[in-house]
Amino acid sequence: NQMIIKILQMFRFLLVLSAFMLTVSCGRNNIVSGVPVRYVTAERSMELKADSSFRYDFPQSLQMVSLYVQDSVLVVKESVGGNMDGRYFKCYSLEDGSCMGEYVLRGRGPGEALSPNIRGSFHDSLGRECLYVFDISLGRSYGLDLAKSIKEGKTEIFPLTDFPVQPLDAYLYRDTLQFVTVADNDRQLYRIMGLDGKELKTFDILHDISADVFLPQLSECVVLNHEEGLAALLMLGLPQMNILDLETGDVKSYAVSPEYVHWRDIISRYDMNSMVYYNAAISSDEFIMALYIGESVADSVDKDCSHLHVYDWSGRFLYDIALSEAIDAIGFDEKTEMLYALDRNANRIYRYELSELI
């Protein structure tokens, strides 16, 4: 009997040891420490043609950089060098293509910005729906009342936060909070902060990876699910998406190419032969949509097509959609379920019908 008990104890120990070694092994294959990676393939691959009836060419915008859609209004960010008036955002009606004004002047003064990016929308304390604008150069966030700006013909913008630590990026979260990426003490960290700049939570999921050394390789696209309390981090330098639970700090990782296991070699160098994976993303409460390149930096410059990856928030890879256009930025109109996509080289916007898919 004693012999049988010892054998059972040894067997139990070996099972625990095997499980531990498997966990460690999986964790070492992932840039996110201690988290196994689930390799996923698209449940459906397909091609999608641009809507040929969408013929607006927006001649007032000479050098478009990115776009955002709110209430059937297309907000185009322009390079200030391509805009004689020095304003960043030009608005167009998606009903008739008419120009609805241009807003946010370049500068350091009140209501001005140097490197503004729209990072979602929110309702302010008065119930107004506003755009959340983050300026990386000034380390500030703002609210832009787009409806009032269009109605009155002048920029209606107000300050939200002067960040105590310079963020790499910032997004509004649940109307009164902010999800912020920072490089602090050589670590890339994610924080939940109040609009007063107070730090409420910090997530360190990369642990011993040096942000100072590997910052370009750690770049990612961020989208948030406000209802579920999730952040999807789609990596530029790795074929990987990490979903961070903003309540518990738990992380789930998904990869679309086996190359993710070579993350140490990938982040140790950055040159024209480095691969580019996810370079833009948008989301709804149900889906994550991301532009996937899958080519080297050198080859991606001359790309003539694009892929749109569609996930749900549980990590299911639903669609790999081939687009025949070279797309650099995307926006989604939830009312019409239309995807708007920008080709920067051609300075042209395309439209795709997604209602049958999502």
Task: With a cut of 80, say whether residue 1 has pLDDT above it.
Answer: no
**pLDDT of 7 higher than 80:** no
pLDDT exceeds cutoff 50 at 343: yes
3-state SS of the chain?
Answer: CHHHHHHHHHHHHHHHHHHHHHHHHHHHCCCCCCCCEEECCCCEEEEECCCCCCCCCCCCCCCEEEEEEECCEEEEEECHHHCCCCEEEEEEECCCCCEEEEEEEECCCCCEECCEEEEEEEECCCCCEEEEEEECCCCEEEEECHHHHHHHCCCCEEEEEECCCCEEEEEEECCCEEEEEEEECCEEEEEEEECCCCEEEEECCCCCCCHHHHCHHHCEEEEEECCCCEEEEEECCCCEEEEEECCCCCEEEEECCHHHHHHHHHHCCCCCCCEEEEEEEEECCCEEEEEEEEEEHHHHCCCCCEEEEEEECCCCEEEEEEECCCCCEEEEECCCCEEEEEECCCCEEEEEECCCCC
Q: What is the pTM of this model?
A: 0.88
Q: In the prediction, which pLDDT does 83 show?
A: 53
Return mean pLDDT, the chain: 88
Encode pLDDT of 238-250 as tens digits: 999 999 999 999 9
**Residue-wise pLDDT tens digits, 36-46:** 999 999 999 99
Q: Name, in order, each residue with C-beta under 8 angstroms of 295's C-beta and a sequence gap of 6 or more.
A: 275, 276, 303
Is the pLDDT score of 22 beyond 50?
Answer: no
Residue 357: its pLDDT value, please? 85
The model's pLDDT over 282-325, given as tens digits with 9 standing for 90+, comes to: 999 899 999 999 888 888 777 778 999 999 999 999 999 999 99
Residue 163 has pLDDT above 90, yes or no: yes
The predicted-structure confidence for 55-106, as pLDDT tens digits, reads as follows 888 888 888 999 999 989 999 999 866 555 678 999 999 999 999 999 999 9
pLDDT (0 to 100) of residue 19: 35
pLDDT at 314: 97
Q: Residue 16: what pLDDT?
A: 35
Residue 51 pLDDT > 90 = yes
pLDDT higher than threshold 90 for residue 217: no
pLDDT at 133: 97
Residue 10 — pLDDT band, cuts 50, 70, 90? Answer: low
Top pLDDT among 295 and 223 is at 223
How much of the chain exceeds pLDDT 70, in percent?
Answer: 91
Predicted pLDDT of residue 274: 87
Is the pLDDT assigned to residue 17 strictly greater than 60? Answer: no
